[in-house]
Amino acid sequence: MVHKNFAVALLAATVGACSQMPNKGSSPEREAAEAPERKIASSTTISTPEPEEEALPPTDIWERLRRGFRLNHRVDNTKVQDYIAYFSRNEGYMARVSERSRRYIFHVVEELEEANLPLELALLPIVESAYDPFAYSHARASGMWQFIPSTGRSFGLQQNWWYDGRRDVHESTRAAVKYFNYLMERFDGDWELALAAYNAGEGTVRRAVERNRRKGLGTSFWDLKLPRETKRYVPQLLALAEVVSRPDYYKVPLHDIANEPYYARVDVGSQIDMAQAAELAEIEVDELYLLNPGYNRWATDPNGNHQLLIPIENQDVFEAALKELPENQRVTWQRYTINRGDTLSTIARRYQTTVSAIRETNKLRNNNIRAGKTLLIPSASGPAGQYAYALDQRVKRRQSSGQGQKSSYTVRPGDSLWAIARKMNVSVKQLASWNSMAPGDTLRPGRTLVAYDGSTPASNNRTTRKVSYKVRSGDSLYRIANKFSIEIDDILRWNKITKSKYLQPGQRLTLFVDSASNS
């Protein structure tokens, strides 16, 4: 995760691209490429070297990565070897994370190349989040680059009720690139120390370096006393890079990903309902959320920059349909008559919106409202289940995933997670996990938390049903498995197919789905 403790003043400084790089990882192909032959005609006459044939552009993203690898992969280091062995044994994991990266990795590589950074960094989201933009850690780190709130804000990632820039694929990648440049400069081009600082925090690494310096000890990453997670972090990335550099040798399958853009950025110009936007783009709502995970709710941020990422093959149809739809029809509106005892906050919660959005829509100067008056409320056009990746729906799924007898608690003013955990006779860590929280998150009165006593396995209260699923355009094994909360290996086994066989639109798959899954 990204822990940051650095002077805010330094963020304003212009950080140059990488001018010092560690030794490149070696491979027979690279060594041959770096030693072109020169032809000598005689002792007195030197012939003009024949122009080298221009290298063909890489056909897939993995070859492009290999060409941009610059770090020493430390293949003789025992910790790196341990992780190489781990990834070689867990080929299913590598297949899943490479498949999950297919929407994002081309654009990550583009940003890294533009900043002249080593392309091993494109593999860092595997270490951080398994390339899951919805990942959230116990330390409040979010998104595929795992920024904590304070550092996200320091690098311009906005965070509010509607939107979290730490999960925004495009913006968080830009922020990560800026942070890499900052750390590279602070650690004089030592990428192993810079990566350790990305994980543990700049201050933690600097203090470790100073301790060793005072003792006359080595100050490389491998010499330092650092947190256990950080000591594993750098070897894991180097091992990943080594495995990607020679996947056939290590017998590690990588999902085929073309070296071409997956999405285009479209300026919508106003707030828009996510379900409506998906319909205009002729894609599934889930696909739109997976490309735009920064949006927390059923619509884009009313006060945001109104950018949406759209699959590039759907860009033209989306932009054409969008032109035909007036801005005042891009969100559904409901008229609400104020009842006695209502407040803007209770109305906002009821309609899954914010007080500020209601005030702005109705041109209210303050929060005072009067019974009998009518408010215009922006609201979702479809049922809640249609917005499966919206924050509240993800929380509900997580709250339903525990085992045992379920109990709930409504947060009151003055409550703390520690006090609630004691009342519910569970640990703070367990309570936070069941409710998609981190222990340090702010509790809001009115929120419902759940806990499980573990006495009854959840499977006792669930049934499995057989589903015939019709493959749609753009579907993948990962997407289908994620949609039904099942494993890719199970889909392969149930349908007697292999990972190497492409799914075809219209193809029927047999699935055995938990009755509680969001299908």
Question: Would you please indicate which residues are annotated as catalytic (active-site) residues?
Answer: 128
DSSP state of 340: T
DSSP string, 76-90: TSHHHHHHHHHHHH-
Residues 6+ apart with CB under 8 A from 379: 331, 332, 333, 334, 351, 352, 353
Closest CA to 1 of 249, 201, 251: 201
Helix (H), strand (E), coil (C) string for 415-446: CCHHHHHHHCCCCHHHHHHHCCCCCCCCCCCC
164 forms beta bridges with 159
Cβ neighbors of 422 (< 8 A, separation 6 or more) are: none
- 340: how many CB neighbours lie within 10 A of its CB? 7
Q: How many alpha carbons fall within 13 Å on the CB side of residue 246? A: 14
d(CA 221, CA 183): 14
Q: In whole angstroms, what is the distance from residue 130 CA to residue 58 CA?
A: 24
Cβ burial 161-181 (10 Å sphere, 16+ → b, else e):
bbbbbbbbbbbbbbbbbbbbb
Structure letter (DSSP) for residue 40? -
